[in-house]
Amino acid sequence: MAGGTFLTQNKIRPGVYINFLSQETQNTFSERGTVLLPLALPFGPEGTIVSIDRDTDVFQLLGIYEDDPSLFLLREGAKRAKKILLYRLNTGEKATATGGTLTATARFSGSYGNRFSVSVKEGDGSFTVSVLLNGKEEEKMEAVDTEGLHSAFIDFSGTLSAGSFSLSGGTDGEEDYEGFFDQAKTASFDTFALACEDTGIKEQAVSFVKEMRETEGVKIQGVLSDTQADYEGIISVKNGVILSDGTVVSKEEATVYFAAMTAAAQVNQSNTYDTYDGAAAAYGEFTGSQIEEYLKQGQIVFVGKGDRVVVEKDINTFTSFTSEKGQIFSKNRPLRVLDGLAKDIRTIFENGYIGKAHNTPDGRRLLKADILSYLRTLEDLGAVLSVEEEDISVLEGETEDSVVVELLVQPVDSMEKLYVTVVAA
């Protein structure tokens, strides 16, 4: 029987899921854990976002073996993310071949298509068609003509005839970040990672995040390498790690793991001192004074702690603190509370009030009660402090159909500094 704890009531398996809270939670929390990942791949669907979780058959979806080096960053992200939205950045030429009267064309473009071959054997009134990858049979089909062939990897045309042939001519093509950002505008995710060095693309990513957060009201975060964006929506990774098998993960590649870690972190969790799973050492060791300087710049730094590699401090790149926008916006745990609050109150309003509730004092009191209940649940989870009814105002707006909500909230951060005074007797 399945079991465990929950933040949202979305479990699949039968079982008992228990939270120890002082009052019953409501199903208003947005589920976290989705990371959007653009990658250049040697095969797979082009120009579209595909969803991958723990139950996905990656080989059937992409046509690439799961342990292939080209999927390394996908595997790194899967260490933490509940769901990965994968976007293939590149589109090239499709591998193809003709044997007799039969033509086989790879379903997707890319050099990986050159690894496929086809074998056709004629039988009694039908043909046996095998699709092989690196010489290993992956599909076997019986058909009398090409209309009866349904392969996940190869498209067939012409007429069936006995023979064997290998595909060739597949190329990977150039990366297209414009297509990625266009698709990302309508996707639902918590974070995205850009594992690239190109400064222009990073600047484009910063602009994209600002547009989504400030214009569209979509509270996402982007994770880049070595970037000083001075913005709470952008997280910057300063160094990488070395995995226990000796694999070096550059700071660009480490963005994927941290984006997945951030996406999976709940509103009452911090990633400060959380572990990079599978890492044996930091790649790029810094002195204490260097680490302090990078933290002041809003950089994520991986450091060795015994046999672990941990995140020194869970922060983003916002550093220009003011009286109106203070240091709390630079800490990712409190920001998750504020971002989640914006998303969840929007959900409460859209699901229960738009087009349904009267914009009257009674209707606004109901909305206030729902928001208060939500905030008290956050308080029970340790995400906010001291929720009081008078901290919430729900007022009629300037037009008859508008409502204005004003909130005073105190997000909770995690303990990070311990000051000890020892007095000798």
Residues 56 and 98 in one domain: no
Q: Is residue 344 part of a domain?
A: no
* Model pLDDT for residues 319-357, shown as the tens digit of each residue: 999 988 889 899 999 898 888 888 888 888 888 888 888
For position 353, what pLDDT does the model report? 87
Which of 311, 330, 345 is a domain's end point? 311
For position 300, what pLDDT does the model report? 97
Interatomic CA distance for residues 341 and 196, integer angstroms: 31
Average pLDDT, the chain: 89
165 CB-contact burial (10 Å; exposed 0-12 / middle 13-18 / buried 19+): middle
Q: Is residue 19 part of a domain?
A: no
Q: Is residue 236 part of a domain?
A: yes
- The residues facing 136 across adjacent strands are 133
Q: Is residue 185 part of a domain?
A: yes
Which of 276, 311, 346 is a domain's end point? 311
Q: Is residue 282 part of a domain?
A: yes
Residues 146 and 262 in one domain: no
Which CATH number fits the domain that encloses residue 113?
A: 2.60.40.4290
For position 352, what pLDDT does the model report? 86
Residues 150 and 181 in one domain: no
Residues 67 and 194 in one domain: yes
Residues 297 and 283 in one domain: yes
For the chain, how many structural domains are there in total? Answer: 2
Question: CA 393 → CA 104, 323, 340, 346, 408, distances in Å?
Answer: 65, 23, 19, 15, 9
Please say whether the beta carbons of 236 and 228 come within 8 A. yes
For position 416, what pLDDT does the model report? 60
- State pTM to two decimals: 0.86
Which CATH number fits the domain that encloses residue 36?
A: 3.30.1370.220
Residues 67 and 84 in one domain: yes
Residues 239 and 288 in one domain: yes
Per-residue pLDDT tens digits of the chain, which is 425 residues long: 344 444 555 554 444 444 433 333 344 567 899 999 999 999 999 999 999 999 999 999 999 999 999 999 999 999 999 999 999 999 999 999 999 899 999 999 999 999 999 999 998 889 999 999 999 999 999 999 999 999 999 999 999 999 999 999 999 999 999 999 999 999 999 999 999 999 999 999 999 999 999 999 999 999 999 999 999 999 999 999 999 999 999 999 999 999 999 999 988 889 999 999 999 999 988 999 999 999 999 999 999 998 999 999 999 999 999 988 889 899 999 898 888 888 888 888 888 888 888 889 888 889 988 988 888 888 888 888 888 888 888 888 888 888 888 888 888 776 665 666 777 76
Residues 263 and 142 in one domain: no
For position 8, what pLDDT does the model report? 52
For position 149, what pLDDT does the model report? 93
Which of 116, 147, 166 is a domain's end point? 166
CA atoms within 13 A on the CB side of 44: 27
Residues 212 and 307 in one domain: yes
- Containing domain of residue 109, as a range? 94-166
Residues 111 and 256 in one domain: no
Name the residue with tokens 């997945």: 260
Residues 267 and 155 in one domain: no
Q: Is residue 360 part of a domain?
A: no
Q: Is residue 2 part of a domain?
A: no
Residues 151 and 44 in one domain: no
Interatomic CA distance for residues 54 and 45, integer angstroms: 19
For position 28, what pLDDT does the model report? 58
Q: Is residue 334 part of a domain?
A: no
* Model pLDDT for residues 181-217, shown as the tens digit of each residue: 999 999 999 999 999 999 999 999 999 999 999 999 9
